[in-house]
């Protein structure tokens, strides 16, 4: 999940949203979303993932699939997945 910034930026552009509009729709600050897309953050919380999915107008499950998180789930035992998700 360390390259989520690329996936998020790609989804935002595919949705035809400016960075500002995306941040507003997601209910997140423009500075945070800008840093997220810039790769300054390597993971997001579940609540942030939900907000980003909402900002894109897609389900949380689809968002997690598109950032590659659900692929990790298939390769990682559940106790490791939980530790990874909560860090």
Q: CB of 26 within 8 A of CB of 63?
A: no
Confidence bin at 58 (pLDDT 50/70/90): very high
- To 10 degrees, what angle do helices 30-37 and 19-26 make? 120
Mean pLDDT along residues 6-15: 96
Confidence bin at 15 (pLDDT 50/70/90): very high
Q: Which of 61-65, 71-75, 78-82 has the highest mean pLDDT?
A: 61-65
What is the pLDDT, as a whole number, of residue 36? 95
Q: How far apart are CA 48 and CA 58, in angstroms?
A: 14
Q: How far apart are CA 17 and CA 83, in angstroms?
A: 33
**Over the stretch 16-57, which tens digit does the pLDDT of each residue have?**
999 999 999 999 999 999 999 999 998 899 999 999 999 999
């Amino acid at each position: 999940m360390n390259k989520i910034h690329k996936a998020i930026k790609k989804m935002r552009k595919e949705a035809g949203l400016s960075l500002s509009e995306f941040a507003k729709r997601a209910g997140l600050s423009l500075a945070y979303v800008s840093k997220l897309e810039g790769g300054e953050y390597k993971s997001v919380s579940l609540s942030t993932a939900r907000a980003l999915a909402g900002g894109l107008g897609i389900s949380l499950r689809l968002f997690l699939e598109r950032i590659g998180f659900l692929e990790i789930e298939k390769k990682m035992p559940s106790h490791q997945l939980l530790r990874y998700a909560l860090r």
